[in-house]
Structure 1
């Protein structure tokens, strides 16, 4: 089972580096706008397995205990690597 983890944190760069360097995983960053105050934030989204999830959550709790995190179970994934250039 994989998990899709969405994180908003003030320590975005440190988190991005941990995901790519330590977990050897990919991530996507979206710009999000808060509905109450229209503040702009970046949301980091990554998909991890069980052991990566445990490492990620431990890291986030130490890095930024106030981070906003949502977690979804992923039932299936499809990945097509690029073949050649467009």
Structure 2
């Protein structure tokens, strides 16, 4: 798994790639439309990478206060981009 294109193709093929990080797994499930599975993968983790995914997921959910809390935990701030742009940026970051 090395490019955004191949990651998206794996979503379209319903083929979760082996050996990817928990952050990418969460983004993969989110890409499949399974917000709850994506959230379940990161909601109990305390590292900053997982906090960033957690923040994105709460932003997507519309819970901005909670999203901002998790962006802060990730030592980041809510980006001024669309959710799709943020998703792509996160995928590229964790590939």
| TM bracket, shorter-chain basis | under 0.3
Q: In proportion to residue count, which structure has more helix?
A: 2
Q: Which is higher, the Rg of structure 1 or of structure 2?
A: 1
TM-score (norm 2): 0.25
Q: In proportion to residue count, which structure has more strand?
A: 1
Structure with the bigger RCO (C-alpha within 8 Å, sep 6+) is: 1
